[in-house]
Amino acid sequence: MTKRDFLSAADLSRDELENLLELAQRSRGKRASQVLAGKTLALLFFDRSLRTRVSFEVAAVQLGGHVINVFADRELYDLEPEERIVMDGRAEEHVKDAARTLSRYCDGLGIRHLGHTGSWERDRQEVLLRSYARYASVPVVNLESAVEHPCQAIADAMTMQAQLTRLSGRRLSIVWTNNPEPKNIGPCHSLLRVAGMLGMSITLCHPLGFEPEAEVVASAAKDAQAHGGSLRVVNSLDDGVRDAEVVYTRSWGSPKYWEDQERETIVKRSLQTWIIDEAAMAKTRNAIFMHPLPVRRGVGATDGVLDGPRSLIYDQAENRVHAQKALLTHLLG
């Protein structure tokens, strides 16, 4: 059987996405089938993780599988992803050798690698992730890259669906919030893709200079329109939250300042009012509040919002397990 990778939310068709969401919803509160019995999943983390690591391990174990967590940043050899290169530098092993070896041991691989080259043009190519996918003979799952976090987006859609039932035409506001550190843009990109496929009415709200990838925005807008939704971009927090049914917040670093983080820090000094507080939520249609975590309390959102009755941040975290079970069943079952 030809292996199937999951590197981007765009790898799913609309039907596949809806089937995954249905399977994930059915898995809540039920004893999982043992579809991964006798199978092993290796998770390679080149960056820190809490929810992704634990939820994938719990999901695989509940499906009868076994998980090996590898903290690749300190446990693996430095890897070389480029082809036809004389390896006389820091890297001791080529990705092809690692991927092909792990494929002999395991039934699936998960890779988290955000990219840290300092060049957006380089990091957006997801070289290490896609090299693993190229050389591995087993399915490879993107546990978060510089460009996408597709597993998070499936859980996010599941959370919205459980609350709102029907997602087509529903008003989703994806709102940039402040953070002293440049954060990954992947969750924003993946949610845009998934919400577009589901026909939501999306408002993308961010300050000038913090635009996501134009190709991702255009693709999401096209999908949304094709399925009865829409996508608009605003640069005012008030405009972004007004009349929303879902307020989804996340800070992300600007590709514009990717190679000059000091400049981004200076720019963000004037953006400290980009925080979701009770006044912002009062402008919505009694919206639910979502954030993928981790969140800096009092910076990205207030305690009153995060701990309030409309906050679903822990539902999102829990749903990572159910979404992961559906995905693993789809890829490995």
Q: Which of 74-78, 93-97, 111-115 has the lowest mean pLDDT?
A: 74-78
Per-residue pLDDT reduced to its tens digit, 155-178: 999 999 999 999 999 999 999 999
Q: In this prediction, what percent of the chain has a pLDDT beyond 90?
A: 86
Please tell me the distance from the alpha carbon of residue 270 to that of residue 241, in angstroms, as a whole number: 20
Residue 291: exposed, middle, or buried by beta-carbon count in 10 A (0-12, 13-18, 19+)?
Answer: buried
Question: Are domains 9-149+320-332 and 152-316 of this chain identical in fold?
Answer: yes
> Is residue 333 over pLDDT 90?
no
Per-residue pLDDT reduced to its tens digit, 256-307: 888 898 999 999 999 999 999 999 999 999 999 999 999 999 999 999 999 9
Beta partners for residue 113, in sequence order: 145
3 state DSSP class of 71: coil
| 58-85 average pLDDT score | 90
| 89-111 average pLDDT score | 95
- Please, are residues 225 and 152 in contact by the beta-carbon 8 Å criterion? no
| 127-135 average pLDDT score | 96
Average pLDDT, the chain: 95
Q: Which phi-psi region, left, alpha or beta, contains residue 250 (left: φ > 0; alpha: ψ -120 to 50)? A: beta
- At 1, the pLDDT band (50, 70, 90 cuts) reads very low
Residue extents of the structural domains in the chain = 9-149+320-332, 152-316
Please tell me the distance from the alpha carbon of residue 171 to that of residue 269, in angstroms, as a whole number: 30
Contacts 24+ apart (CB under 8 A), 68-76: 68/40, 68/41, 68/42, 68/43, 68/106, 69/43, 69/45, 70/42, 70/43, 70/44, 70/45, 71/45, 72/44, 72/45, 72/46, 72/113, 73/45, 73/46, 73/47, 76/44
Confidence (pLDDT) at 82: 85
Q: In this prediction, what percent of the chain has a pLDDT beyond 70?
A: 99
Element (H, E) at 70: strand 66-70
Neighbours of 330 (CB within 10 A): 17
Confidence (pLDDT) at 2: 65
For tokens 């979701």, what's the residue? 276
- At 101, the pLDDT band (50, 70, 90 cuts) reads very high
Confidence (pLDDT) at 31: 76
Task: Quickly list DSSP for 188-217.
Answer: HHHHHHHHHHTT-EEEEE--TT----HHHH
| 248-252 average pLDDT score | 97
Which of 270, 286, 276, 200 is closest to 238 using CA atoms? 276
- At 198, the pLDDT band (50, 70, 90 cuts) reads very high
Per-residue pLDDT reduced to its tens digit, 12-67: 999 999 999 999 999 887 777 899 999 999 999 999 999 999 999 999 999 999 99
- Please, are residues 113 and 145 in contact by the beta-carbon 8 Å criterion? yes
| 135-139 average pLDDT score | 98
Q: Which of 74-78, 107-111, 197-201 has the lowest mean pLDDT?
A: 74-78
Confidence (pLDDT) at 208: 96
Element (H, E) at 58: helix 51-62
Please tell me the distance from the alpha carbon of residue 110 to that of residue 125, in angstroms, as a whole number: 18
> Is residue 202 over pLDDT 90?
yes
Confidence (pLDDT) at 73: 74
| 230-245 average pLDDT score | 98
Beta partners for residue 111, in sequence order: 44, 142
Within 8 A by CB and 6+ apart from 324, the residues are: 55, 56, 58, 59, 60, 151, 155
Confidence (pLDDT) at 30: 75
Residue 49: both structure tokens together: 């993780």
Confidence (pLDDT) at 261: 87
Residue 145: exposed, middle, or buried by beta-carbon count in 10 A (0-12, 13-18, 19+)?
Answer: buried
> Is residue 235 over pLDDT 50?
yes
Q: For the domain covering 9-149+320-332, report its CATH number.
A: 3.40.50.1370
For domain 152-316, the question of CATH label 3.40.50.1370 is answered with yes
Residue 133: exposed, middle, or buried by beta-carbon count in 10 A (0-12, 13-18, 19+)?
Answer: buried
3 state DSSP class of 148: coil
Beta partners for residue 203, in sequence order: 173, 232
